[in-house]
Amino acid sequence: MKTSKTSGRFNLDAAVDRAVAETWTHDIHTHLYDPAFGKLFLWGIDELLVYHYLVSEAFRYFDMSYDSFWKLPKSRQAGLIWDELFIKHSPISEACRGLITSLNVMGLDVGKRDLPALRKWFAAQDLHDYIDRVLEVSRIKTLYMTNSPFDDAERPVWEKGFKWDSRFQAALRIDPLLLDWPSAWKKLKDWGYKTGPDLTAPVIGEVRRFLDDWTDRINARYLMVSLPPDFEYPSKIPSGQLVEKAVLPHCLERNMPFAMMGGVKKLLNPQLRLAGDAVGFVDTRAYENLLASHPRNKFLVTMLARENQHELCVLARKFRNLHVFGCWWFTNIPLCIEEITRLRIELIGLSVTPQHSDARVFDQLTYKWNHSRRIISKVLKEKYHDLEKAGWVAAEKEIQRDVAGLFGGAFDAFMAGKL
Ligand code: HDL
Ligand code: ZN
Q: Which atom of ligand 1 is nearest to the CA of 360?
A: 11
Selection from 367, 362, 375 nearest residue 30 by Cα: 362
Long-range pairs for 95-101 at CB < 8 Å and ≥24 separation? 95/51, 95/53, 95/54, 95/57, 96/54, 96/57, 97/367, 97/371, 98/364, 98/367, 98/368, 98/371, 99/48, 99/49, 99/51, 99/54, 99/367, 100/367, 101/366, 101/367, 101/370, 101/371
Q: Which ligand is nearest to the CA of 42?
A: 1
Q: How many separate domains does the chain show?
A: 3
Task: Give yes or no: residues 318 and 342 share one domain.
Answer: no
Residue 9 CA, ligand 2 centroid: distance in Å: 42
Residue 313 CA, ligand 2 centroid: distance in Å: 20
- Residue identifier of the C-alpha nearest atom 9 of ligand 1: 274
Selection from 10, 6, 28 nearest residue 372 by Cα: 28
Which pLDDT belongs to residue 94?
Answer: 98
**Domain of 228, in residue numbers:** 167-324
337 residue type, one letter = I
Distance between CA atoms of residues 373 and 376, nearest Å = 5
Task: Give yes or no: residues 207 and 308 share one domain.
Answer: yes
Tell me whether residue 177 is in a domain: yes
DSSP category for residue 170: E
Q: Which ligand is nearest to the CA of 27?
A: 2
The CA-atom distances, in angstroms, between 309 and each of 207, 265, 282, 326, 379 are: 33, 17, 10, 11, 17
Instruction: Convert the pLDDT of each residue in 42-71 to its tens digit.
Output: 999 999 999 999 999 999 999 999 999 999
Contact 261, 227 (CB under 8 A): yes
Tell me whether residue 379 is in a domain: yes
Long-range pairs for 152-155 at CB < 8 Å and ≥24 separation? 153/39, 153/40, 154/33, 154/37, 154/40
Task: Give yes or no: residues 223 and 311 share one domain.
Answer: yes
Task: Give yes or no: residues 185 and 254 share one domain.
Answer: yes
Which pLDDT belongs to residue 4?
Answer: 47
Q: Which atom of ligand 1 is nearest to the CA of 175?
A: 1
Instruction: Convert the pLDDT of each residue in 288-344 to its tens digit.
Output: 999 999 999 999 999 999 999 999 999 999 999 999 999 999 999 999 999 999 999
Instruction: Convert the pLDDT of each residue in 169-217 to its tens digit.
Output: 999 999 999 999 999 999 999 999 999 999 999 999 999 999 999 999 9
Output the average pLDDT for the chain: 97
Which pLDDT belongs to residue 372?
Answer: 98
Is the pLDDT at 2 greater than 50, yes or no? Answer: no
pTM for this structure? 0.97
Instruction: Convert the pLDDT of each residue in 38-50 to its tens digit.
Output: 999 999 999 999 9
What residues does 325 pair with on adjacent strands? 353
Residue 274 CA, ligand 1 centroid: distance in Å: 9
Helix 127-138 to helix 364-390 angle (10° resolution) is 10
Is the pLDDT at 81 greater than 90, yes or no? Answer: yes
The CA-atom distances, in angstroms, between 319 and each of 10, 125, 343, 408 are: 37, 47, 17, 20
Ligand 1 pocket (Cβ < 6 Å) reads 31, 146, 226, 261, 274, 277, 329, 358, 360
Q: Which atom of ligand 1 is nearest to the CA of 328?
A: 13
Which pLDDT belongs to residue 46?
Answer: 98
Q: Is residue 253 classed as helix, strand or coil in its secondary structure?
A: helix
Question: Where does residue 11 rank: exposed (0-12), middle (13-18), buried (19+ CB within 10 A)?
Answer: middle
Q: Which atom of ligand 1 is nearest to the CA of 329?
A: 13
- Residue identifier of the C-alpha nearest atom 11 of ligand 1: 358
Residue 328 CA, ligand 1 centroid: distance in Å: 8
Q: Which ligand is nearest to the CA of 53?
A: 1
Helices first, then strands: H and E counts in the chain = 20, 9
Task: Give yes or no: residues 241 and 315 share one domain.
Answer: yes
What residues does 299 pair with on adjacent strands? 258, 322
Q: Which atom of ligand 1 is nearest to the CA of 29?
A: 3
* Residues whose Cβ atom is located within 5 A of ion ligand 2: 358
Which pLDDT belongs to residue 389?
Answer: 97
Which pLDDT belongs to residue 3?
Answer: 42
Residue 277 CA, ligand 2 centroid: distance in Å: 12
Tell me whether residue 358 is in a domain: yes
Tell me whether residue 150 is in a domain: no
Residue 386 CA, ligand 1 centroid: distance in Å: 35
Is the pLDDT at 168 greater than 60, yes or no? Answer: yes
Instruction: Single out the residue in 270, 291, 324 at which a domain terminates.
Output: 324
What are phi and psi for residue 101, nearest 5 degrees? -60, -45
Which pLDDT belongs to residue 334?
Answer: 98
Distance between CA atoms of residues 79 and 74, nearest Å = 9
What is the dihedral angle through the alpha carbons of 45, 46, 47, 53, rounded to the nearest 10 degrees?
Answer: 100
Task: Give yes or no: residues 178 and 289 share one domain.
Answer: yes
- Residue identifier of the C-alpha nearest atom 8 of ligand 1: 329
Instruction: Single out the residue in 324, 341, 358 at which a domain terminates.
Output: 324
Tell me whether residue 152 is in a domain: no
Task: Give yes or no: residues 303 and 235 share one domain.
Answer: yes
% of the chain surpassing 90 pLDDT: 98
- Domain of residue 294, CATH code: 3.20.20.140
Tell me whether residue 89 is in a domain: yes
What does the pLDDT average to over 390-410?
Answer: 98
Task: Give yes or no: residues 58 and 106 share one domain.
Answer: yes
Task: Give yes or no: residues 370 and 319 share one domain.
Answer: no
Tell me whether residue 35 is in a domain: no
Instruction: Single out the residue in 262, 293, 324 at which a domain terminates.
Output: 324
Tell me whether residue 63 is in a domain: yes
Task: Give yes or no: residues 286 and 359 share one domain.
Answer: no
Selection from 296, 273, 293, 276 nearest residue 285 by Cα: 293
Pairing relation of β-strands 264-265 and 258-262?
A: unpaired
Task: Give yes or no: residues 196 and 316 share one domain.
Answer: yes
Residue 145 CA, ligand 2 centroid: distance in Å: 9
What are phi and psi for residue 225, nearest 5 degrees? -145, 145
Which pLDDT belongs to residue 10?
Answer: 74
- Domain of residue 90, CATH code: 1.10.2020.10
Which pLDDT belongs to residue 8?
Answer: 52
Task: Give yes or no: residues 351 and 314 share one domain.
Answer: no
Q: Is residue 152 classed as helix, strand or coil in its secondary structure?
A: coil
Instruction: Convert the pLDDT of each residue in 85-138 to its tens digit.
Output: 999 999 999 999 999 999 999 999 999 999 999 999 999 999 999 999 999 999
Distance between CA atoms of residues 113 and 88, nearest Å = 11
Selection from 371, 294, 384, 286 nearest residue 336 by Cα: 371
